Amino acid sequence: MNIFNHNSRIKWVLFIGAFSLIGYFLYEINHLINQLRNEEKKKIELWANTIGRKSNYVQHTEKFFQQVKEDERERVEQFIEVHKIILQQPLDKELGFYFKFISENKTIPIIITDEFNNILLSQNIDLPKDYRVLSGDMLKEFSLNPPLKYNVYGMNFILYYTETKVYSELHNILIDLSNYLLNEVTDNYVFVPAIITDTSMSIVYSSGNVLPDKLTQKNLKKTLEEMTRVNKPIKIKLSNGRNALVFYEESEILNALRYYPIFFILIFIVVFFIGYQLFSTTKRWEQNSIWIGMSKETAHQLGTPISSLLAWVEYLKLQPENIEMSNEITKDIHRLEMIANRFSKIGSQPELTKQDLIPIINQSVEYLKSRTSNKVEFILDIPQDKAIILPLNQYLIEWVIENLCKNAIDAMQGKGIFKIQLIEENRKIHLDVSDTGKGIIKKNRKKIFQAGFTTKQRGWGLGLSLAKRIIEQYHKGQIFVKQSQVGKGTTFRITFSNKDR
């Protein structure tokens, strides 16, 4: 019977199932991370292309308005030529065509002054009443475009003009609209830190979700190096033919998602560990309850036949020739009483009293020696001239020694050397129990103390489990396999703490 192997298989199934779930979860998370990374890369490329298109759009817009501006200047120059012709021609000459040309200028604001800025003529502008000299804010406004100077018959004229109202409004509307639309695209599509630079990585063309401090000349190189370690920069071409590089990092969502499995696994391990401990504790409690119930029931069942045997021994003693036999039977009955007493104490906290360990060992070995094959040699390497006083429960310690002795005799198959050696070391007492039996294979050395584990064809696997409980829980000591070699034997070590020394 091997209860431990059955429980061990259940535990392995639980472990494999749990780690299979973790593996599947990590696979799915990794797949999701790769998808998000690809999506972010696509959005970065779209953002970079949008920046390029923005540059192209702005360039075309500027070209358009530059052309409009040049056309207006050309019209102003034509206006000057017409004005010169009118001033140079006799008054009686027909000049209707030229006056018509001047009067048809309904869009370009024009002011003509002499060399002292005295206003001679104005068109398409409402001048303040009594405003005779061009000066102040109006002079600044009309000086945004270089004024045109010309001379007619020794008289100096200056023509000032500004863009038409339609031109200014359209220019501002288109610029604002283009900035708004493109900023919407860049703001909505870029949620990762990104920077566009020239190929020398010294000039920043555009950026998104990057702190201004990281874009300074002092920190720019370090920032770009950090981004390069995360993702390889993307090469793009701007509308003016310039090459550019797009550097970007991963989003906070992606970074958080990458570390999420670690926290999940840690939480899972903690929960699984707690659950496993609860499961193991429950199983141990159930096993202990069964063993305790069996032990107490065994003690109870032994009580009746022991009482009957005592009566029969007293009857045998009435015959003188039965005295010797009766004494031996009495010893065995007392042994049965002691065993019943041991079983009755399982499950309750035993009483420990300060006792000498040496006599307990001697009595246990002497009893087993007389009932064991003479092919087994018993060796006691313990001091007989001194006392080893420890807080002990005699019945339970005898049980441990007898259990180890019986296991050793079974391992030697009734032939070999059984040795008990007592060693004093600092404040500890070591009791080494050795045999020359078949030994214990390495993988079973930790299992042998598990309740239900046994390598025998017959047995419950309780002896060493109860021995461990007696030594470690009741006597606060240790019991373990000190050494074992297959085919040569095993040594168990029991260690007691001697605080009084």
381 and 422 housed in the same domain: yes
Q: Quick one: pLDDT at residue 175?
A: 64
Proportion of the chain above pLDDT 90, given as a percent:
13
pLDDT tens across 440-464, in order?
A: 888 888 788 876 667 666 555 677 8
For 303-321, what is the mean pLDDT? 76
How far is residue 234's CA from residue 43's CA, in Å, rounded to a whole number?
12
Q: Number of folded domains in the chain?
A: 4
pLDDT tens across 4-32, in order?
A: 455 567 767 777 877 787 777 777 777 77
DSSP 386: S
Which of 348, 375, 410 is the last residue in one of the domains?
348
467 and 364 housed in the same domain: yes
Q: For the sheet containing 110-114, what is the strand order?
A: 119-123, 110-114, 155-161, 148-152
For 298-325, what is the mean pLDDT? 74
User: Residue 494: is its pLDDT beyond 90?
Assistant: yes
Q: What string of DSSP letters covers 261-322?
A: HHHHHHHHHHHHHHHHHHHHHHHHHHHHHHHHHHHHHHHHHHHHHHHHHHHHHHHHTTSGGG
- Residue 281 forms part of a structural domain: yes
How far is residue 203's CA from residue 196's CA, in Å, rounded to a whole number?
9
- Residue 382 forms part of a structural domain: yes
355 and 493 housed in the same domain: yes
For 364-371, what is the mean pLDDT? 83
| Orientation angle between helical segments 323-345 and 252-316, nearest 10 degrees | 150
228 and 320 housed in the same domain: no
- Residue 374 forms part of a structural domain: yes
Q: Residue 416 maps to which CATH number?
A: 3.30.565.10
Pair 375, 414: CB distance under 8 Å:
yes
For 168-190, what is the mean pLDDT? 59
Proportion of the chain above pLDDT 70, given as a percent:
78
- Residue 131 forms part of a structural domain: yes
pLDDT tens across 111-126, in order?
A: 999 989 998 888 888 8
334 and 362 housed in the same domain: no
**Which structural domain, as residue segments, surrounds residue 152?**
112-161
Reported confidence tier of residue 355, pLDDT bands at 50, 70, 90: very high
356 and 487 housed in the same domain: yes
Which of 348, 378, 407 is the last residue in one of the domains?
348
Reported confidence tier of residue 361, pLDDT bands at 50, 70, 90: very high
491 and 407 housed in the same domain: yes
| Of 129, 130, 128, the residue nearest 138 (C-alpha) | 128
User: Residue 383: is its pLDDT beyond 70?
Assistant: yes
For 48-57, what is the mean pLDDT? 67
CB atoms inside a 10 Å sphere around CB 104: 8
- Residue 4 forms part of a structural domain: no
Q: Quick one: pLDDT at residue 419?
A: 94
339 and 387 housed in the same domain: no
335 and 356 housed in the same domain: no
Q: Quick one: pLDDT at residue 443?
A: 83
Which of 301, 324, 348 is the last residue in one of the domains?
348
- Residue 16 forms part of a structural domain: no
List of E strands, 26-154: 110-114, 119-123, 148-152
User: Residue 394: is its pLDDT beyond 80?
Assistant: yes
Reported confidence tier of residue 262, pLDDT bands at 50, 70, 90: confident
479 and 388 housed in the same domain: yes
- Residue 323 forms part of a structural domain: yes
- Residue 343 forms part of a structural domain: yes
Reported confidence tier of residue 421, pLDDT bands at 50, 70, 90: very high
355 and 463 housed in the same domain: yes
For 382-389, what is the mean pLDDT? 89
Q: Quick one: pLDDT at residue 51?
A: 65
358 and 327 housed in the same domain: no
